[in-house]
A and B are shown apart, each in its own frame.
Chain A
């Protein structure tokens, strides 16, 4: 602001010349951005806007959509018991999966944060699920929890003389199994993030704490955890978004026993429900309303999380 006041007023010619020069400098940058911008518009913004429009229509995918205003949202929020079931299942699943995954990731990071061979190997082993084909992993889980006697879980039970359990077709087991799969598959990724966060904490803070007489737990409580807050926020929010969008586990593992959502909708979550309405019941307008509702839920929860973290920082 000061610079503008102190500079002598420019003539029209000089202004135009400067603008041209600035444009010349910017054009290559914008040109290089164009491919990304095209993809971004075509494959993200366009579908998003289409989905927003369809959310206000009755659209079966083939006939032209007809405008129904907010009817889809009204039906979804007020009249749809399956949506409520999907929402409650999702919230329980997200709370359990995110909490346990974050705790497991932090524990692993504390255990294997070093640079020794042992730590590197262990980190690699725990990170492997993050880079393994999801479908292959889910098919293995399906075999582990097969209701037959040869299923791994039932084989282990049989060593203790127990009868086989119909893991996948017993609704009360559905969410715990999904949480188990999520923690197993997600803790390695969180561990890597936490390790980088742990290694970025200045050693002086621990030295100061030790000089003040802090023990191991106190160092963790008053130095490590506060210093890890931004990393924890990142892990929790990305974990939360991923957990709300769970699909493959429900779709692949429980497809062996039931239609989308598992037996008695025991594993019905928001994205599988969206898929069910859109691609098995051909109600694409309604499915779009579910998609935007899911976006709003994730947005609001993420905002709350960010606000809470900021508030904690200000304490």
Chain B
């Protein structure tokens, strides 16, 4: 019996030792020299977007016969977890695209290559500075360069506004809330809806910028969220839910606008592509404008995707070359055409001068052009990715529990400071 116990203990110890061998540090021989390369690209987004990217990848192969790129779609819902798993197991895609903050996050963990080693100067010069700064880590590393952009757009039904006695889209917060009251009085059940991060920090961030506030100091050494400007922004943001009946859950903007249940929507630029195809009755009935301004003027969040190479790829040079090629006129043209043809979506390149060639109405192009001049990307400061959801919960308490905005922001600041540490 004693011997049996010893054997069992030894077996358990061996298993435990074996179980402790995962280190995630296995080295992968990398081949920087030119030569045949087969690359796997995980494109976060829809199958249609992946198919559009495959067309670009096939064109790249025509230009670079040694490089074959296979594009696969991964869903937004579990994309980050999948990419992390790939980084952990050091197997999977060579190239990934994903949220703007994924690059810094995964890169700082050691999962992605710093593309500065492969000279991304041209891309930096072509991208809007505020977008570039949000993908550059505080130490200067660039783990993924912007692949496309998503902007906030103000959508509205001119006929419903006119019926309510409004001459045009609201241009300030005061006009916005007046419009909500008038539209409600004219019989529109839900005059204003929010889309894209509906009850999270994203829509609040627009108010923050329009009130002149910020999350961190430019050098990421201080948390600046608990400012007077932020209190003003939070009060206005909370009022839209508490006093003006903006739904707190995500809604179907196209369906609501088509039925006349909604008259105004603050949402992402990608929505525009689906209105006419998803709701033919809406065709010609909707317009866009930049978001209403606040006490400090215009401002909104810009999101989108980054594209970069995984740290374990055997072909870092080939991967980086393809990533940089996506900035060329030809690549952007292919993606603008294919993304629209396959999914009816608007592809906004990080090169703003190419916006004129996008598949969009003149009104939408003007709105996007005007918006681009006032956008700010997500913060590149350490710990923001961890803090974002916690900040949202403090903001939600202002709406749901009537918490004091300054107290809520002070709590949020403490969380951000702890994570900045």
Number of interface residues of A (CB under 8 A): 38
Interface-located stretch among A234-242, A260-268, A305-313? A260-268
Select which of A52, A65, A147 is within 8 A of B251 by beta carbon: A147
The count of A-to-B residue pairs whose CB atoms sit within 8 angstroms is 109
Evaluate contact between B19 and A53: CB separation under 8 angstroms. yes
A-B contact pairs, 9 of them (CB 8 A): A45-B15, A61-B84, A63-B109, A148-B247, A257-B250, A258-B392, A263-B400, A264-B401, A276-B389
Interface-located stretch among A21-29, A165-173, A178-186? A165-173
CB neighbours (8 Å) of A54 from chain B are 22
Select which of B20, B84, B200, B400 is within 8 A of A282 by beta carbon: B84
| Interface status of A15 (Cβ within 8 A of chain B) | no
Distance between B245 CB and nearest chain A CB, rounded to angstroms: 9
Distance between B73 CB and nearest chain A CB, rounded to angstroms: 18
| Interface status of A279 (Cβ within 8 A of chain B) | yes
Closest 3 CB pairs of A and B: A49-B19, A169-B248, A147-B249
Distance between B417 CB and nearest chain A CB, rounded to angstroms: 16
Evaluate contact between B249 and A166: CB separation under 8 angstroms. yes
Evaluate contact between A279 and B386: CB separation under 8 angstroms. no
Evaluate contact between B24 and A64: CB separation under 8 angstroms. yes
Q: Which of A146, A149, A282 has the most CB of B within 10 A?
A: A282
- Given A46-B19, A147-B248, A280-B80: A257 and B24 within 8 A (CB)? no
Q: How far is the CA of A282 from the CA of B111 in the complex (A)?
A: 12
CB neighbours (8 Å) of A39 from chain B are none
CB neighbours (8 Å) of B25 from chain A are 63-64
The residues of A with any CB-CB pair to B shorter than 8 Å are: 41, 45-46, 48-50, 52-54, 60-65, 146-149, 166, 168-171, 255-260, 263-265, 276, 279-282
CB neighbours (8 Å) of B198 from chain A are 257
Q: How far is the CA of A260 from the CA of B250 in the complex (A)?
A: 15
Q: How far is the CA of A92 from the CA of B393 in the complex (A)?
A: 21
| Interface status of B106 (Cβ within 8 A of chain A) | yes
Select which of A60, A166, A168, A276 is within 8 A of B109 by beta carbon: A60
Evaluate contact between A147 and B247: CB separation under 8 angstroms. yes
The residue of chain B having its C-beta at the shortest distance from the C-beta of A61 within the complex is: B88
CB neighbours (8 Å) of B23 from chain A are 64-65
| Interface status of B185 (Cβ within 8 A of chain A) | no
- Given A257-B198, A264-B393: A279 and B111 within 8 A (CB)? no
Evaluate contact between B110 and A166: CB separation under 8 angstroms. no
Evaluate contact between A149 and B189: CB separation under 8 angstroms. yes
The residue of chain A having its C-beta at the shortest distance from the C-beta of B311 within the complex is: A62
Evaluate contact between B249 and A264: CB separation under 8 angstroms. no
Evaluate contact between A62 and B400: CB separation under 8 angstroms. no
| Interface status of B81 (Cβ within 8 A of chain A) | yes
The residue of chain B having its C-beta at the shortest distance from the C-beta of A169 within the complex is: B248
Distance between B395 CB and nearest chain A CB, rounded to angstroms: 10
Evaluate contact between A265 and B393: CB separation under 8 angstroms. yes
CB neighbours (8 Å) of A48 from chain B are 19
CB neighbours (8 Å) of A258 from chain B are 199-200, 392, 396
Beyond A54-B22, A263-B199, A265-B393, 4 additional pairs, beta carbon < 8 A? A62-B84, A62-B106, A170-B248, A279-B80
The residue of chain A having its C-beta at the shortest distance from the C-beta of B251 within the complex is: A148
Evaluate contact between B261 and A149: CB separation under 8 angstroms. yes
The residue of chain B having its C-beta at the shortest distance from the C-beta of A280 within the complex is: B80
Evaluate contact between B248 and A257: CB separation under 8 angstroms. yes
The residues of B with any CB-CB pair to A shorter than 8 Å are: 15-16, 18-20, 22-25, 77-78, 80-81, 84-85, 87-88, 105-106, 109-111, 189, 198-200, 247-252, 256, 261, 311, 385-386, 388-389, 392-393, 396-397, 400-401
Q: Which of B18, B85, B311, B396 has the most CB of A within 10 A?
A: B396
Q: How far is the CA of A169 from the CA of B109 in the complex (A)?
A: 33
CB neighbours (8 Å) of A260 from chain B are 389
Evaluate contact between A62 and B109: CB separation under 8 angstroms. yes
Q: Which of A53, A62, A64, A170 has the most CB of B within 10 A?
A: A62
Evaluate contact between A62 and B389: CB separation under 8 angstroms. no
- Given A49-B19, A60-B109, A263-B199: A166 and B248 within 8 A (CB)? yes
Evaluate contact between A264 and B397: CB separation under 8 angstroms. yes
Distance between A20 CB and nearest chain B CB, rounded to angstroms: 21
Distance between A126 CB and nearest chain B CB, rounded to angstroms: 30
Distance between A82 CB and nearest chain B CB, rounded to angstroms: 8
Q: How far is the CA of A256 from the CA of B396 in the complex (A)?
A: 15
Distance between A67 CB and nearest chain B CB, rounded to angstroms: 10
Q: How far is the CA of A228 from the CA of B294 in the complex (A)?
A: 67
Select which of B15, B84, B250 is within 8 A of A256 by beta carbon: B250
The residue of chain B having its C-beta at the shortest distance from the C-beta of A251 within the complex is: B77
CB neighbours (8 Å) of B249 from chain A are 146-148, 166, 168-169, 256-257
Distance between B34 CB and nearest chain A CB, rounded to angstroms: 28
Q: How far is the CA of A146 from the CA of B268 in the complex (A)?
A: 21
CB neighbours (8 Å) of A282 from chain B are 84, 105, 109
CB neighbours (8 Å) of A46 from chain B are 15, 18-19
Q: How far is the CA of A280 from the CA of B392 in the complex (A)?
A: 15
Distance between A150 CB and nearest chain B CB, rounded to angstroms: 8
Select which of A63, A255, A265 is within 8 A of B110 by beta carbon: A63
Q: How far is the CA of A264 from the CA of B400 in the complex (A)?
A: 9
Q: Which of B110, B261, B389 has the most CB of A within 10 A?
A: B389
Q: How far is the CA of A31 from the CA of B12 in the complex (A)?
A: 22
CB neighbours (8 Å) of B19 from chain A are 46, 48-50, 52-53
Evaluate contact between A63 and B24: CB separation under 8 angstroms. yes
CB neighbours (8 Å) of A41 from chain B are 15
Q: How far is the CA of A166 from the CA of B399 in the complex (A)?
A: 13
Distance between A177 CB and nearest chain B CB, rounded to angstroms: 13
Evaluate contact between B87 and A62: CB separation under 8 angstroms. yes
Q: How far is the CA of A257 from the CA of B247 in the complex (A)?
A: 10
CB neighbours (8 Å) of B24 from chain A are 61-65
